[in-house]
Amino acid sequence: MIRSIAIDDEPLALEQIGDYIQKTPFLKLTGLFDSAIKAMEFLSTTPADLMFVDINMPDLSGIDFVRSLINPPRIVFVTAYSDHALEGFRVDALDYLLKPVSYSDFLKSANKVKGWFNSNLQDPAEIKSNKSFLFIKSDYKLLRINFEDIKYIEGMNEYIRIHLTNSKPVMTLMSMKAIEILLPADRFMRVHRSYIVSLSKISVIERNRIVFDGKIYIPVSEQYVKRFQEYIDTNF
């Protein structure tokens, strides 16, 4: 499932896109927002894979909103003005929907997004590792990812997203269990069914949550809290 949010200051348009997301089998609606500011607050603590974003909004336009995000989800712009299409693609939008949006047009765009995710998620057999780094095949390239550059790893159903210190996240088709086996146990710890963290990157802990960059909150679930607390008691 592709976790999706929609952002539009027009209530009827926002409701329509939300309905379209819910009726599309491979999309999962995780949030509807009538302003870019509210969506930004949501994304600071909750991951999303895809955003349907209106371009013309008060206070902060869809284009400026996307440009303000360090690691934005994939984007489909939705607007009533066709002359914004080129500007939208300059910020790496996957597609562009022109209002009023029919479900057939929405589904065509959603399938395009699904195709992008399928083509960019790699076979687990392509992932190799040693004591210092991983090699991951992505976009027909082999990417070396040093363990010391990993902040945390996020599980997203059938694939994972590896969040790095100085570059964009890397996605690959793999389970959390499989990547956990490849990681050095003395350097990484699973703290939630959807998160593995680099122990050396932990500097702030707040109410059973690990805080990265002052805005990313990683929950420590009950299943893993005892082991994590033992690590804290020993090292902090």
- Are 75 and 44 members of one domain? yes
- Are 129 and 231 members of one domain? yes
How does pLDDT run across 28-71, given as a tens digit for each residue? Answer: 999 999 999 999 988 887 878 899 999 888 878 888 888 888 77
Residue 191 has pLDDT above 90, yes or no: yes
Rounded Cα gap, residues 61 and 53, in angstroms = 9
- Are 106 and 20 members of one domain? yes
Check residues 175 and 37 and name the one with the higher pLDDT: 37
- Are 132 and 113 members of one domain? no
Number of domains within the chain: 2
- Are 113 and 168 members of one domain? no
In the listed set 100, 120, 140, which residue is the last one of a domain according to the structure? 120
In the listed set 120, 147, 168, which residue is the last one of a domain according to the structure? 120
How does pLDDT run across 126-166, given as a tens digit for each residue? Answer: 555 567 888 876 665 678 889 999 999 998 867 788 999 98
Residue 124 has pLDDT above 50, yes or no: no
Tokens of 35: 């302003």
Could you tell me the CATH number of the domain that includes residue 135? 2.40.50.1020
In the listed set 95, 120, 145, which residue is the last one of a domain according to the structure? 120
- Are 158 and 205 members of one domain? yes
- Are 143 and 45 members of one domain? no
- Are 215 and 189 members of one domain? yes
- Are 176 and 213 members of one domain? yes
Rounded Cα gap, residues 21 and 52, in angstroms = 10
Could you tell me the CATH number of the domain that includes residue 65? 3.40.50.2300
Span of 46-50, 65-69, 88-92, 194-198 with lowest mean pLDDT: 88-92
- Domain housing 63: 2-120
The amino acid occupying position 229 is Q
- Are 94 and 143 members of one domain? no
pTM of this prediction? 0.56
Residue 102 has pLDDT above 60, yes or no: yes
- Are 32 and 11 members of one domain? yes
Q: Is the previous residue joined to 100 through a cis bond, with omega within 30 degrees of 0?
A: yes
